[in-house]
Amino acid sequence: MEATDIRHGHPWHPSAAYLYVLHLDGPGLAWEYLRRHPDYQSDWQRRRHRPDAAQRWGLRSLEDPALDARDAHPDWGPDPAASAQLHPDLDAPEEGWRFDLWALPGHKRLHSDGRRLRLAVDLPGRHLRLALAPGLRDGMACAFGTRAATSFTAEAARASHRALALGVASLEGHSPQAFAQARERPSPTALQELHSLQALDGYLAGASLREVATGLFGADAVAAGWHTDSGLRARTRRLVRRGEALMRGGYRRLLQNDPLEQGRFAHSQNGPEQAAGVF
């Protein structure tokens, strides 16, 4: 079945439809922005005639843009910085950790990208993305690893290893019941992503800046605080511009765990095109 255009028929007004965004990691957010790009949707529709189109978007193969990050399995190339590889440990100590898929805590999603099995594990406040090496089987001693990238700074490499160590610690020595707890309060950064995506959807649907603000903050807030130089108007404009910049290439920074500027977002030069100004 062909994907529907996200700009049409998508209920962007109710903020409740975006609550899942609060719990996405960088690669999940990157997919949310990319799947809204009109040119990406066009490439998906014409994928039979454009077999190499995925590369321009940083993917190994095109994924259906109708699927949100909870159901999609975008095959990013290279793997996002937050990903880890799981290999058989050829020199494991007797008490070493052993791979047991069904004993892992959290919500698990396992699928094949045609070359290997990929496992996503969702824990409260943490997401693990694992590439399983061929030959790895349940019960085998295993080792975690990350790619050595020459473009990494020493600090970025240390941050990557810290994130991996925390993720592994989350898996070791805990039962699934230990993670059956409420999620933490959303961070300001997570709320900004929710608002950016909602503002972007309103803009793509043809809504005016005031209509976007009404959808985000409510009619009463707009009636009380909307004028030419109002902070509410400026905030809404920044959210729309930020969402469009992320859609038009900036999403690649989310894949590499690069910090994103709060509020204003510098337009990225790394995507298929630079973001155009709005309003």
- pLDDT per position as a tens digit, 153-174: 556 555 555 655 656 666 654 4
CB-based burial, 144-174: b 16+ in 10 Å, e otherwise: bebeeeeebeeeeeeebeebbeebeebbeee
Q: Which of 101, 27, 31, 99 is nearest to 66 (CA)?
A: 31
The answer to whether 207 touches 152, Cβ cutoff 8 Å, is no
Among 141-150, 158-167, 233-242, which range has the highest average pLDDT?
Answer: 233-242
For residue 177, what pLDDT is reported? 43
For residue 182, what pLDDT is reported? 44
For residue 5, what pLDDT is reported? 42
Measured distance CA(271)–CA(57) in Å, rounded: 7
> Domain limits of the chain?
76-179
SS3 100: coil
Distances (CA, A) of 159 to 169, 256, 259: 15, 11, 12
Looking at per-residue pLDDT, the higher value among 6 and 245 belongs to 245
The answer to whether 3 touches 44, Cβ cutoff 8 Å, is yes
pTM above 0.95, yes or no: no
Q: Which helix (H) or strand (E) holds 118?
A: strand 117-123
Mean pLDDT of 9-32: 86
How is residue 12 annotated by DSSP?
-
Q: Which of 138, 122, 128, 129 is nearest to 179 (CA)?
A: 122
Quick one: tokens of 28? Answer: 């999940």
For residue 165, what pLDDT is reported? 60
Quick one: tokens of 224? Answer: 């009380």
* Predicted confidence band of residue 176 (pLDDT cuts 50, 70, 90): very low
